[in-house]
Amino acid sequence: MEQLLLLIFLPLVGAIITAFAGKSAKIVSTVFSVTSLVLALVIACNFIPNANTQFEVNLPWIADLGINFHAGIDGISMLVVLLTNLLVPIIILSSYKHEYKNPAAFYGLILFMQCGLLLVFTALDAFLFYIGWEAALIPIYFICAIWGGKDRIRINMKFFVYTIAGSLFMLMGIIYLYLQNPAHNFDIQAFYALNLDSAQQGWIFWAFFIAFAIKMPIFPFHTWQPDTYTAAPAQGTMLLSGIMLKMGIYGVIRWLLPIVPAGVYDWGQVAIILSIIGIVYASLIAFTQKDAKRLVAYSSIAHVGLISAGIFAFNQQGMQGAMVQMLSHGINVVGLFFVLDIIFSRVKTNKIEELGGIAKVAPQLAIAFLIIVLGTVALPGTNGFIGEFLLLMGVYNYGIWAAAIAGLTIIFGAVYMLRMYQNVMLGETNSLTITFTDIKGTEKLVLYTICALIIVLGVYPKPILHLTEASVQHLLEQVNQKLNTVN
């Protein structure tokens, strides 16, 4: 209990202290983020990989409304808790070469966002989940609006409107479930136990699905993403792509499937179709991109589309693949955006046609970039392979044609990612890249860490699969049992 409370609120304490740390904010935020990672690893070492909720906290909060501070960790949430606490210090370290205006506010907002994310990933009370959901949105809005690039206000407003609209749909669904609950509380198990008819489950499915689909994002709710990823500061893009979109995926697994299985049964095929359309659409758009950052943004939409399809295929392989790929995608996409940030900091452009020959003058960067790209295109032996293999197996068990089309994400991804690597890193140097310097200091530390994770998780994914297996199996059994009752 004490460990989980400390895990959730340590970043909040760090955010407050960092906000008053002045020029030392970078170091202070690093200390708090690394401490959070150590604490998360301690909790993971003490975690028993079964279907039970562990480190549970259940304290009265707003008793008159049946709201408790109820949080806990199972195998599903343990994975995203580890991902969050792993990527935040990496993202902070990746900023060491930048000198942001008002660094105390910048790094304080990152830690505040970390607290909101951890609330989302551990909440067992729907009201607490919603508070965390909104708390994670506020800091990223200011990070993008204050430290973003050209036209950031218009782009950020579009992102904010999309996410707030989705949140309101979800809030309506939560309030409706609360009113249907005889106990008049927001407890997740009480919501799981509700006996709703197919019509009720159908509209609640869409109330939650729209909120989660916007966050992931899934076609056609994705239009905010490419512009926001491009205009946001590098660390903001890493937070959005590496961790924040996992809120939507996690929400589908933790809240949508168990609460409204009949709604998923009735509308899940539509969700799979939208996911597969997103895979093909984003991949085709990625082929046409001249800016490397936008190319990676569309690549992310394609990969998340495959994760979504695997979840709604609703079988063990698809669900396990989604869990593994959440971790792998987070690591890989942060690595990609960091490499592009390094390139932009040197030559002030991410235009693919203006680059080339960087491997000749920066071989260490070229090798690290290649490993990350290979992980992204799911080369066997890298972290991307096992997740995408399981996802395709899950979608294949759902339908062979769905798998055939969804599998295009691997083929298309290999083509546009390797072509981008070739044009950026290989060939002859030009007037921009001839003076390019290789990575050093914290750049090496971050990229070597990411590359090591890509290789280790690719060669030996068993601990991750074992961590989530029991919880995934229990969730599927729970949903199938409830679905049989409804039918």
User: 357 with 426: CB under 8 angstroms?
Assistant: yes
Which positions ≥6 away from 477 have C-beta within 8 Å? none
Which positions ≥6 away from 225 have C-beta within 8 Å? 217, 297, 300, 301
pLDDT of 1 reads 59
- How many other CB atoms sit within 10 Å of the CB of residue 380? 11
Whose tokens are 């690591």? That residue is 331
User: 284 with 205: CB under 8 angstroms?
Assistant: no
Mean pLDDT of 128-135: 92
Nearest residue to 244 (alpha-carbon basis) of 221, 210, 215, 224? 215
Q: What is the pLDDT of residues 54-77, one digit of tens each?
A: 998 988 888 888 889 999 999 999
Tell me whether the omega of the peptide bond preceding residue 220 falls within 30 degrees of 0, making it cis: yes
Q: What is the pLDDT of residues 4-22, one digit of tens each?
A: 999 999 999 999 999 988 8
Largest CA distance in the chain: 71
**Structural domain spans, the chain:** 260-487
User: Distance between alpha carbon 183 and the CA centroid of its chain, in Å?
Assistant: 33
- The DSSP-derived string for 264-299 is HHHHHHHHHHHHHHHHHHHHHHHHT-SBHHHHHHHH
pLDDT of 129 reads 94
Mean pLDDT of 231-251: 89
Tell me whether the omega of the peptide bond preceding residue 217 falls within 30 degrees of 0, making it cis: yes
How many angstroms separate the first and last alpha carbons of the chain? Answer: 39
Q: What is the pLDDT of residues 90-112, one digit of tens each?
A: 999 998 888 888 889 999 999 99
pLDDT of 320 reads 92
pLDDT at 361 over 60: yes
Mean pLDDT of 181-192: 88
Q: What is the pLDDT of residues 385-431, one digit of tens each?
A: 998 899 989 998 888 888 888 887 788 888 999 999 999 998 888 88
Mean pLDDT of 254-283: 89
pLDDT of 15 reads 93
**What's the burial of 391, exposed, middle or buried (CB within 10 Å: 0-12/13-18/19+)?**
buried
Q: What whole-number percentage of the chain has pLDDT above 90?
A: 44
pLDDT band at 486 (very low <50, low <70, confident <90, very high): low
Question: Which pTM does this prediction carry?
Answer: 0.92
pLDDT at 225 over 70: yes
* SS3 state of residue 370: helix
pLDDT of 479 reads 84
Q: Are strands 67-73 and 54-62 parallel, antiparallel or unpaired?
A: antiparallel
**What's the burial of 431, exposed, middle or buried (CB within 10 Å: 0-12/13-18/19+)?**
exposed
CA angle 148, 298, 324 (to 5 degrees): 105
pLDDT at 487 over 60: no
* Length of the chain as a residue count: 487
Whose tokens are 């995926």? That residue is 249
- How many other CB atoms sit within 10 Å of the CB of residue 24? 15
pLDDT band at 375 (very low <50, low <70, confident <90, very high): very high
Instruction: Give just the sign of the alpha carbon dihedral 346, 350, 356, 357.
Output: positive
